[in-house]
Amino acid sequence: QTFPNSVYRVVDVRDVALAHIQAFEVASASGRYCLGGHVVHISEALNILRPLYPTLSIPEKCDDEKPLTPTYQISKEKAKSLGIEYTPLEVSLRDTVESLEEKGFLNV
């Protein structure tokens, strides 16, 4: 098994829900808000998951020999004006796996 040489933008759905609520309730809120909790290479996410779920079959090798695609950051300032503090990536990943397991989509 291999993983793609890709970068992903991740935001916890709970943070999105809170941002929607805050956009209605914060009087100074206006315009558009781009939520970008984390920008991570897939290898970083897999490195977080491996020790949490050692029985899962998680690939360790990239599917090409190119250097890993670099990550970048998205400004979080406007979302912070709504009071949004993003859920840590580790928590989002762990909670996602646990939810998939509870629903029977994954055996950990």
Q: What is the pLDDT of residues 11-43, one digit of tens each?
A: 999 999 999 999 999 999 999 999 989 999 999
| Domain range for 81 | 2-103
- pLDDT the model gives residue 89: 97
Residue 32 counted as domain residue: yes
- Is residue 68 domain-resident? yes
Give domain status of residue 29, yes or no. Answer: yes
Q: How far is CA 102 from CA 62, 88, 95, in A?
A: 29, 21, 10
Query: What's this model's pTM, rounded to 2 decimal places?
Result: 0.87
How many domains, in total, are found in the chain?
Answer: 1
Residue 49 lies in a domain: yes
**Cβ atoms 71, 5 nearer than 8 A:** no
**Residue 108 covered by a domain:** no
- With respect to residue 46, please indicate whether it lies within any of the assigned structural domains: yes
pLDDT tens across 46-95, in order? 999 999 999 999 999 999 989 888 888 888 999 999 999 999 999 999 99
Beta bridge partners of 61: 2
